[in-house]
Structure 1
Amino acid sequence: MKRSVLFGTLTAIVVLIGLIVVGPQRIALADDSTGDEELAQKLRDNSSRAQNQITAFTLQDGEVTFAGIGADENTEVEIGSVTKTFTTELLRQQVESGDIDLETTVDDIIEVEGSEVSDVTMLELANHTSGLPRLDKDNLGLVRTIFTENPYAGISQDDVFDAARNASLSGRGERSYSNFGAALLGQLLAVNADSEYAELVQENILDPAGMDATYVGSESSIAEDAPRGLAANGRETDAWGMDGYAPAGAIRSTATDMSKYAKFLLDNSEFEFGWFPENSGGYWHNGGTGGYSTMLIIDPNAKEAFYANGNTPQGVEDLTRALRMKGEQ
């Protein structure tokens, strides 16, 4: 897809400039394995040179199996844009309860009269068809990421709303992935519930699912000694704490808790929006931050789920799909 090619090109540019500016550090796969030996070996067999630590689970036949390389099922990680599935699950819940409608517009929730986003619907925001750009025009994410910094620092809920009021739409109705749109959706859901985004996630997903080690990583809630990932050049990155953009990618979790999330979704969700169809059945969503990459596949028909997270920007999509395959890899 054109978007994938463009993203890959931009990523390559970031990696190259980062190496030139701050210098490379060697990235190597960790020596120690944890959890199920067979699953850990499958992680090794399908890992790449640009990966260091990996944590994963499979959920099949009602049983969860964990494994890790240099990490285990209780290692805290950033799940990046997999956070967006939490946001769309909150939307599903509010629709189910009658507190909102998929055709509710931005202007129905906040004052944006005269703005291009005024009649953009919740469904358009959830499915990336709103016409909003990937990031608001004032975001310097690319530059900050080169220097291993948090690209979403200093952006508040009000900043997201102000940016939305001034945004121009392009290609509305066509799917174009937008962190900006996801952030706006989550913040609108918070206003609609007279709450904060982190509180909505806690009360409506984390608590019911028993996800005790998971939280929305705001700029102030991530501990100084919390795990950090590695940038493409091997240097440790800043934690990606987010306030305004929290609904797009701020959640920190563990493989243990993500398995609970998968079970929660299999028991409750309908996957009607916010996910991407998986060729072999079910749905997927991935995520990437400056120092982590994540992939979650859920198949509601087979009652299965597969998850992997690595502590570098190297994608784990193929690795996660390999966990689903039977037999030798």
Structure 2
Amino acid sequence: MKRSVLFGILTTIVVLIGLLIVGPQRIALADENTGDEELAQKIRDNSSNAQNQITAFTLQTGEATFAGLGADENTEVEIGSVSKTFTTELLRQQVESGDIELETTVGDIIDVDGSAVADVTMVELANHTSGLPRLDKDNLGLFRTIFTENPYTGITQEDVFNAARNASLSGRGEVAYSNFGVALLGQLLAVNADSEYVDLVQENILEPAGMDSTYVGSETSVSEYAPRGLSADGRKTDAWGMDGYAPAGSIRSTAADMAKYAEFMLDNSEFGFGWFPEETGGLWHNGGTGGYSTMLIIDPEKNEAFFANGNTPQGVEDLTRALRQEGE
């Protein structure tokens, strides 16, 4: 708890310093509606002035409806930590195929002899109960975000493994959200499959789901011409391409492809771990990068899903829930 409070205080201080240094720039909601007019109006009615472009869908009775403000269903965006659900889906698939078990430990896959993390299990990493911290070290990368830079630059798979070997655990068994834990999980799944994380996602999710416009954004795979989001003060941000931390938040997609992902998950997944229960039913996961915010709600019982993404850090959680409420 103390670590989380300190992290939050540090984050606030960093943001305030950044605003003092560079000064705010105006962010305005895009004028242009795209896609379904009724849904676009609902998006506009439930958006805030701290948002700019938004792309969204509703998926009900097997039919996806798309709309947006200044962006459409084919606009490429960063989905941030919604990427974690791809990683936990890969775990589910390896468990189903018998290639791994939920109780397989870190030490069963890589050499971590003598480390506190040695007996941490796959399901603990997936459910954020491993005791690992949110990040693998003090997040000095936060200071880079003041200047709209990517805080995960230069972190490799081996860096993640080395950090795990040197990590200490705190509050194991309690839920404490950990980017580090899911990054470690995804890299362990890659080693377990004798593959690369990028290839696992491509072969086991993107291709089966027909997601042709989605990819794992590494430090080298994001084009200089790919869209960039806006920082909280309105400046264009760097793309958050990641290597070591890719399983925790580096996927780039579109609303059209995320609708395909939702259908794929509804048809195939058991949602046993890696998601959070929604009060009104179903499950959710959100995500945020330096320039994007994302929310995905999936309800397996009703066979429906709702998604929104904005190109600023302003959260779209309330917006996505409003789209769901108005659609019922």
TM-score past 0.5 threshold? yes
Check conservation: 2:26, 2:233, Cα contact below 8 A.
Answer: yes
* CA displacement 1:60-82 (0-9 Å, x = unmatched): 11110000001000000000000
Change (3 A) 1:191 1:118: same
| Aligned CA distance change for structure 1 residues 73 and 10 (closer, same or farther; 3 Å) | farther
Query: Match of 1:76?
Result: 76
> Where do residues 82-121 of structure 1 align in structure 2 (5 Å cutoff)?
82-121=82-121
In the TM superposition, what whole-angstrom CA distance separates every residue of 1:247-300 from its partner, at most 9, and x where no partner exists?
Answer: 000000000000000000000000000000001110000000000000000000
Unpaired stretches in structure 2, ≥5 consecutive residues: none
Distance 1:13 1:321 in 2: 30
Contact kept in structure 2, 1:202 and 1:215, CA below 8 Å:
yes
Aligned to 1:251: 251
Letter in 2 for 1:261: Y
Structure 1 residue 138, shift from structure 2 partner = 5.4
8 Å CA contact 1:139–1:152 kept in 2: the answer is no
* TM-score for both structures, normalised by structure 2: 0.97
Aligned residue in 1 for 2:33: 33
Residue equivalent to 1:22: 22
Alignment: residue pair count: 328
Q: Distance in 2 between matches of 1:3 and 1:277?
A: 25
CA distance in 2, matches of 1:105, 1:7: 28
Distance 2:142 2:291 in 1: 14
CA RMSD of aligned residues (A): 1.7
Whether the aligned pair in 2 keeps the contact of 1:148 and 1:236 (CA below 8 Å) is yes
Q: Equivalents in 1 of 2:140, 2:7: separation in Å?
A: 16
Deviation at 1:15, TM superposition (A): 3.0
Q: Structure 1: 5+ residue runs without aligned partners?
A: none
- Structure 1 residues 124 and 221, CA, compared in 2 at 3 Å: closer, same or farther? same
**Equivalents in 2 of 1:67, 1:26: separation in Å?**
24
Partner of 2:145: 145
The percentage of aligned residue pairs carrying the same residue is: 84
- Please give the residue correspondences for 1:302-313 in structure 2 after superposition, counting only pairs within 5 Å: 302-313=302-313
**Residue 137 (structure 1) shift:** 1.0
Which residue of the partner structure matches residue 274 of structure 1?
274
Measured in 1, the distance between the counterparts of 2:85 and 2:45 equals 29
Relative to structure 1, is the Cα distance of residues 260 and 24 closer, same or farther in structure 2, using a 3 angstrom cutoff?
same
Please state if 1:183 is matched with 2:186.
no
| Structure 1 runs, 4 residues or longer, greater than 6 Å off | 1-8
TM-score, normalization by structure 1: 0.96
Matches within 5 A, 1:26-65: 26-65=26-65
Distance 2:219 2:92 in 1: 27
How far apart are residue 23 of structure 1 and its match?
A: 2.0
Shift of 1:19: 1.1
